[in-house]
Structure 1
Amino acid sequence: MPMSRRALAAAAVALVLPLSACGSGDDGSGSTDASGKVEGDITFQTWNLRANFKSYFEGVIADFEHKYPGTHVKWVDQPAEGYPDKLSADAAGGTLPDVVNVSPDLVAPLAKAGLALDLDKSAAKYRSEYLPGAWAGHQVPGLSGTYAFPWYLNTGPLFYNKALFTKAGLDPEQPPRTYDELFADALRMAEKSDGKVATLANVPTIEDFGRYGVPLMNEQGTGFAFNDAKGVKLLTKYKELYDAKALDPQALTATPESSGKKFLTGAVAMNPGSALDLGNFKKNAPGLYRNIGITDQITSTGHVNMYVMGVMVNSRTEHTPAAVAFAHFVTDARNQMSFAKKVAIFPSTAGSLDDPYFTKDDGTDETRVRTAAAKSLKNAVNYTPVLFSDQMKTALRNEVAKALQGKESPKAALDNAVAAADRLLQQG
């Protein structure tokens, strides 16, 4: 996928390795010692970035080779389609590049197969340079260690319609920030509008359970746990919203596009979005644009969700010092800041979000959203478990739909979703 879309979606695509590749730890032919001289030829693989950022990456590589004269970096860029399959084939065939652009869901099977270098062992000195939540983004349940340098981040603010809040007798300058506040405001909105205005247009996802404070997996990483009492409480509250029409009746089949249209027409009071949406509001719904509010994602933990991309080092590289040095170089504060000014992403390096570029609001739509998102990212976490695949997401969504429709109790629905996810986890 194009970079910004991948960063926003962070889709979990299962990457299946042959049993012969399975293992644990960095037990390949390469060395885990990154303290030696930085030299040698390495290959760096990105994911559908050459078309738009060719000059940027060529500049980064030139700078690195100038800093370390004994190195040479070969850059390869893979197309969006089939990238997980390409990684899987390279892993099985022993042709995985030295430094690889990955997302958390893609690094997990590589780490389990012993192909991802544990940076907590080989590059621990760099850990303090990154936001804690970003560094933890490529940790894998059931394994100790961190398996990729955090690279760019993304998150999305929440838009709300101040006029609808005012009409419902709610304070438009005090939007809900926790789920309990959200539920109370949503029920009031539905009551005051006779069910004509819903507050939300989407059913709860695994991220919602995380932001609500539900434990998503057991400590061993061997099974899912979002069917506990707190998880059942969250789904029960959504059922209450659904029955009161505080959750849009079409939420069961909603897409980002359909939810956006509902918000645009005033049928929904809150919706996630981006700076691109503000331009759309200004052009197609000037009344909404004049009354738009921007707030953080709803969370009862105090931490919003982040989407994180990473740069992994192949544990079997023949040039560990050079591979680690380059992965760090690509993701250091200077290069991340430069990259962030070319595309709507955020750096994962500590202190970078305090730069005026992310803190100064000049009144434009772009900076309004950028500053709001940057502020929330400082202590954000990646709630989606790295082992939670697309199939698991589908199973959860199907069970949530049954609970909202009254076909199953919230408890039974979550029990079934966890059972399905656990089966898929064992198969993987």
Structure 2
Amino acid sequence: MRKFRIATALALAGVLALTGCTVGTQDVDTTSAEGEVRGTLTFQTWNLRATYRDYFEGLIADFEKKYPGTHVKWVDQPAEGYADKISADAAGGTLPDVVNVSPDLVAPLAKARLALDLDSAAPRYRDEYLPSAWRSSRIPGMKGTYAFPWYLNTGPLFYNKRLFRQAGLDPEDPPRTYGELFDDALRMARRSKGRVATLASVPTIEDFGRYGVRLMNRSGTAFTFDEPKGVELLERYKKLYEAGALDAQAFTSTPEQAGRKFMQQSVAMNPGSALDLDKFKKEAPRLYENIGITDAPDNTGRPNMYVQGLMVNAAGRNKATAVAFAHFVTNARNQMAFAHQTTVFPSTRGALETEYFTKQDGTDRTRVRVATAASLEKAVNYTPVLMSDDMKTALQNAVTRAVRGDEPPGKALGSAAKECNRLLEMG
């Protein structure tokens, strides 16, 4: 859970290609899951047993009671090496029946004909979920949806109202668009004579998406983030860096290091969670007294959304039971129960409109929960499902060269897009 915002695949597509896991899967029926709901299946989660064991054991017991004759074997894998474990199982024909995946993990499995297409096999469930969440596991260039949406998140953005006031900015009106963000950041840098930066990290692929950059072509065959709007984004970040509005260590800073600078009040804005508010209250009471909560700026009207899903193994021997179980785990009742134990949010329609996600009770956790839930109704997953870690590294390196002034933004982005397209063709 703690790594939810940054956990991604470790180039699973490349591993699948090298191991030749598609051998023997060409005849798999990825479009139907007929049969009786009974028998044994294996359910795999991603680093959840230590904290949520009681919840999942109760969930499984409820399913087995509802469907007599079923048995669910639950396995939980550590976060470290999770993608490698999936690729090894895919190659060896031992992939579990129901697998916890993020969109970037499901993409290579869908291409290898190992992920069941729910649009064809279980279309009756589609309308139970937020449309943007259901679409999150669709793969460019392929028809279908390849995982049930499960839990969602979008990071709230904290800001320091005291620093905003000192810069002559309205502390009750934080920046909503990138234009407002850049203007406010430059003003804060000037007023503080470079002592206060507004941001502590350089833009990622999500920022390009929120800025309004077209990230890939419609067919999903090429990355296009080097278009003029993408170059414009980096040119504006370069100006922030030169003015001291972007922290000097932004190119190498970890989320933890950025968080410390925010707590030290040398950075005015930083993403976080409800757990951070508890930390501010104990370790930085002056910051806590002046904390503001907002959404990350965007030019699209749609915040970014992080998604976890449940994929049904199309090559499994008990697909009917696997579909029933994946739907059971992700139905409205069970997602709401899980949300009450975690800091994540359900992907089912109407859930975010309940009192739990809309009514304040004076506590910090509720304060963040309500603010975050309000943005998820309109949120989308900006990170392309076909973007591997190697591709993200190529983009990150280009961003660093451009913002630091080592290379013109257009040239740097063009090189990154070329490398990402080369890797895409190899996959």
**Using the alignment, how far apart are the partners of 2:163 and 2:50 within structure 1?**
43
- Name the structure 2 match of 1:20: 20
Indicate conservation of the 8 Å contact 1:7/1:153, yes or no. no
* Cα distance in 2, alignment partners of residues 374 and 333 from structure 1: 15
SS in 2 for 1:201: coil
Which residue in 1 is equivalent to 2:43?
Answer: 44
Q: Distance in 2 between matches of 1:267 and 1:56?
A: 41
Q: Map Cα deviations across residues 355-393 of structure 1 (whole Å, 9 max, x no partner).
A: 211112112111111111111111111111112222222
Question: Is the 1:158–1:297 Cα contact (8 Å) retained in structure 2?
Answer: yes
Determine helix, strand or coil for the equivalent of 1:51. Answer: helix
C-alpha distance 344-300 of structure 1, shift in aligned 2 (>3 A)? same
Larger deviation, residues 109-118 vs 251-260: 251-260
Give the AA of the match of 1:9.
I
Report how far residue 206 of structure 1 moved.
0.5
* Distance change >3 Å, CA 28–CA 41, structure 1 → 2: farther
Letter in 1 for 2:190: E
2:425 corresponds to which residue?
426
Could you say if the C-alpha distance between residues 20 and 264 of structure 1 is closer, same or farther in structure 2, counting changes exceeding 3 Å?
Answer: closer
Instruction: Pick one of 3, 6, 10 that aligns with 1:9.
Output: 6
Counterparts of 1:318 and 1:22 in 2: how far apart (Å)? 17
1:137-152 correspondence to structure 2 within 5 Å: 137-152=136-151
What letter is aligned with 1:114?
A: R
Is this contact kept in 2: 1:28–1:316, CA < 8 A?
no
How many Å apart are 1:329 and its aligned residue? 0.5
Counterpart in the other structure of 1:231: 230
Residue type at the aligned position of 1:281: F
Secondary structure at the aligned position of 1:199 is classed as coil
In the alignment, which residue of structure 2 is the partner of 1:108?
A: 107
Partner letter of residue 360 of structure 2?
Answer: D
1:13 is matched by which residue type in structure 2? L
Aligned CA-pair RMSD = 1.7
Counterpart of 1:180 in structure 2 is 179
Indicate if the aligned counterparts of 1:31 and 1:317 stay in contact, CA closer than 8 A. no
Aligned residue in 2 for 1:206: 205
Aligned partner of residue 380 in structure 1, secondary structure: coil
Instruction: Give the match for residue 401 of structure 2.
Output: 402
Residue aligning to 1:120:
119
- Which stretch of structure 1 is more off in the superposition, 152-161 or 316-325? 316-325
The match for 1:348 is 347
Corresponding residue of 1:170: 169
Q: Match for 1:218: what amino acid?
A: N
Aligned position for 1:57: 56
Q: How many residues align?
A: 424
1:2-33 Cα shifts (integer Å, max 9, x gaps): xx124222323211214633389x85445743
Instruction: Report the TM-score, using the length of structure 2 for normalisation.
Output: 0.95
The answer for the alignment partner of 2:335 in structure 1 is: 336
Q: Does 1:292 align with 2:296?
A: no
Q: Distance in 2 between matches of 1:72 and 1:30?
A: 24
Q: Distance in 1 between matches of 2:9 and 2:299?
A: 24
Q: Distance in 2 between matches of 1:74 and 1:272?
A: 37
Q: Deviations over 1:138-170 (max 9, x none)?
A: 111221211100111111111111111111111
Contact 1:198 1:267 (8 Å CA) reproduced: yes
Instruction: Compute the TM-score of the two structures, normalised by the length of structure 1.
Output: 0.95
Q: Does 1:82 align with 2:81?
A: yes
Q: Counterpart of 1:22 in structure 2: which amino acid?
A: T
Give how far 1:222 is off.
Answer: 1.5
* 1:211 Cα deviation after fit: 0.6
The answer to whether the Cα contact below 8 Å between 2:31 and 2:121 also exists between their aligned partners in 1 is yes
Q: Distance in 2 between matches of 1:216 and 1:88?
A: 26
Aligned partners of 1:231 and 1:223: how far apart in 2? 15
Distance in 2 (CA, whole Å) between partners of 1:333 and 1:307 is 18
Distance between the aligned counterparts of 1:325 and 1:98, measured in 2? Answer: 11
Query: Which stretch has the larger CA shift, 140-149 or 329-338?
Result: 140-149
Q: How far apart, in 1, do the equivalents of 2:362 and 2:331 lie?
A: 30
Distance in 1 (CA, whole Å) between partners of 2:9 and 2:79 is 14
For residue 65 of structure 2, what is the amino acid of its counterpart? H
| Percent identical | 66
CA contact (8 A) 1:10 1:308 kept: no
Partner secondary structure for residue 234 of structure 2: helix
- CA contact 1:141–1:219 (8 Å) conserved in 2: yes
Whole-angstrom CA distance in 2 between matches of 1:161 and 1:343: 26
